[in-house]
Amino acid sequence: MSLRTTPRSPAEPGHLPVMLAEVLTALAPADGEVIVDGTFGGGGYTTAILKAANCTVLGIDRDLDAIVRAEKMAQANPRLVPLLGCFGDLDTLAEQAGHASVDGVVLDIGVSSFQIDQADRGFSFMKDGPLDMRMGGSGPSAADVVNTMSEKGLADVIFRLGEEKNSRRIARVLVQRRVQAPFETTADLAAVVEEAVGGRRGARSHPATLTFQAIRMYVNDELGELARGLRAAERILKPGGRLVVVTFHSLEDRLVKQWLRERAGAVPGGSRHMPLMSKGPAPAFELQENKAVQPSEKEVETNPRARSAKLRAAIRTNADAALDEASDGMNLPPLAELEKSR
């Protein structure tokens, strides 16, 4: 299961970037600046940023297909610099491209519509395909997770990352079924999960939705990548640099919210029962808004993907970056354990 070296044909245009106007307002690109689009995807944000100012955009993505799209775009606009890699390493990637500091970082967290629409990527049960779900094409796949992880490990992943209340039952049924035959396709997994929870029973969404979400997030270490990306942005942003993060899941938004509040110097207030906590390091960020910015009703009507989106933004101060390691706080089994069992 090695990294693909031959890319597919670039997907046709059609990706709608979520909360584009709000992203541009918070990011405020200016002439001569260097902006990192850490999740290039379909290039929606990058295209708008390049139009908004005479700036340079470092377009990062671990998906080779996305980089192919970026390279085609860069042929027409050399101010775009495509970089293959994980946005959790965005500071290292930027430095390797000759930029020791940058003026802005934007992250659009989650799976892209291009990935969902390609059946052979295995992200969605709406189109039957191989059970893959890897954004970068390397490491354990979704099939490896479902076919080799312990029952307890599966239940923990499905419950914590999918917030699926039937996680234990689903994990038990998956383990029982894989003894008879390994899971290989998205349709097979979706059907068994649906059977495990007793069918749809009038539910609006497919019973396997949360399980697929959880396995995808685990396979790609999405929360860990987000935590690393936030730390990387803190390290490379100039004083006055802007960080803009768009999330689509409560776990992601919670991580961003808590991290930004901490790095903006928010500490619990004192009371007669508990003394005032001592202040930590100097704030590395100043919040642009105290609450998350949400999409307009009009955008949700035209782009349903925006329904759960939340935008949080902050401005870098001149304080030193934190030295502690990034953590997603999930404490799930490491993917390395699956590597050993394959």
Q: Give whole-number Cα distances, 193 to 81, 175, 198, 321, in Å.
A: 42, 11, 9, 44
Q: Do the annotations mark residue 43 as ligand-binding?
A: yes
**Which helix H or strand E contains 242, and what residues bound it?**
strand 237-247
For 64-91, the DSSP string reads: HHHHHHHHHHHHH-TTEEEEES-GGGHH
Pairing verdict, β 102-108 and 34-37 = parallel
Q: Are 196 and 170 spatial neighbours (Cβ–Cβ below 8 Å)?
A: yes
Report the alpha-carbon distance of residue 153 to residue 155 in Å, rounded. 5
- Shortest CA distance to 105 belongs to which of 29, 41, 51, 50? 29
Q: Do the annotations mark residue 280 as ligand-binding?
A: no
For 140-169, the DSSP string reads: --HHHHHHHS-HHHHHHHHHHHH--TTHHH
- Shortest CA distance to 283 belongs to which of 309, 311, 314, 247? 314
Q: Residue 296: how many CB atoms within 10 A of its CB?
A: 12
Q: Is 303 left (phi over 0), alpha (psi -120 to 50) or beta?
A: beta
Q: Are 73 and 209 spatial neighbours (Cβ–Cβ below 8 Å)?
A: no
Q: Do the annotations mark residue 153 as ligand-binding?
A: no
* 12 CB-near residues (< 8 Å, 6+ apart): none
Query: Token pair 């934007």 is at which residue?
Result: 106
Q: Do the annotations mark residue 44 as ligand-binding?
A: yes
Q: What are phi and psi of 280, to 5 degrees?
A: -90, -150
Q: Are 52 and 28 spatial neighbours (Cβ–Cβ below 8 Å)?
A: no
Task: Give first-to-last CA distance, the chain, whole Å.
Answer: 10
Q: Do the annotations mark residue 108 as ligand-binding?
A: yes
Q: Which residues are known binding-site members for S-adenosyl-L-methionine?
A: 43-45, 61, 87, 108, 115
Q: Which residues are known binding-site members?
A: 43-45, 61, 87, 108, 115
